[in-house]
Amino acid sequence: MARASNTSPLPKMKNKDYLKELRKLQVELCRVQDWVKANSKRVILVFEGRDGAGKGGTIRAITDRVSPRVFRVVALPAPSDREKSQMYMQRYMPHFPAAGEIVIFDRSWYNRAGVEYVMGFCTKEQHETFLKLCPVFERYIVASGIILIKMWLEVSNTEQERRFQARIEDPLRQWKLSSMDLPSRTRWYDYSRARDIMMDATDTEAVPWYIALSDDKKRSRLNCIAHFLKQLPYEAIPREEIKMPKRSTKAAYDDVASLKARRFVAATY
Average pLDDT over residues 26-43: 98
Does position 6 have pLDDT exceeding 50, yes or no?
no
Q: For residue 241, what are the contacts with CB-CB under 8 A and spacing of at least 6?
A: none
Task: Identify the helix (H) or strand (E) that includes residue 228.
Answer: helix 217-230
The yes or no reply on domain 15-259 and CATH 3.40.50.300 is yes
Going from N- to C-terminal start, the domains of the chain cover 15-259
Number of other residues whose CB lies within 10 A of the CB of residue 170? 10
- Taking the alpha carbons of 200, 202, 1, 60 in that order, is the dihedral positive or negative? negative
When comparing pLDDT for 126 and 165, which is higher? Answer: 126
Phi, psi torsion values for 148, nearest 5 degrees: -115, 120
Report percent pLDDT > 70 for the chain: 97
Is the pLDDT at 5 greater than 60? The verdict is: no
Give, in degrees to the nearest 5, the angle at Cα 220 between 119 and 75: 45
Please tell me the distance from the alpha carbon of residue 218 to that of residue 238, in angstroms, as a whole number. 31
**pLDDT of amino acid 1:** 53
Return the amino acid letter for 115. V
- Looking at the chain, the number of H-run helices and the number of E-run strands are 9, 5
In the chain, the amino acid numbered 120 is G
pLDDT tens track for 204-239: 999 999 999 999 999 999 999 999 999 999 999 998
Bridge partners (DSSP) listed for residue 197 = none
pLDDT at residue 220, as a whole number: 97
DSSP per residue over 25-84, as a string? HHHHHHHHHHHHHHTT-EEEEEEEESTTSSHHHHHHHHHTTS-TTTEEEE---SPPHHHH
In the chain, pLDDT over 90 holds for what percent of residues? 85
Query: pLDDT (tens digit, 9 = 90+) per residue, 165-201?
Result: 888 888 877 777 776 777 788 899 999 999 999 999 9
For residues 36 and 100, is the Cβ–Cβ distance under 8 A?
yes
Where residue 3 falls among pLDDT bands split at 50, 70, 90? low
Task: Tell me phi and psi for residue 43, to 5 degrees.
Answer: -135, 135
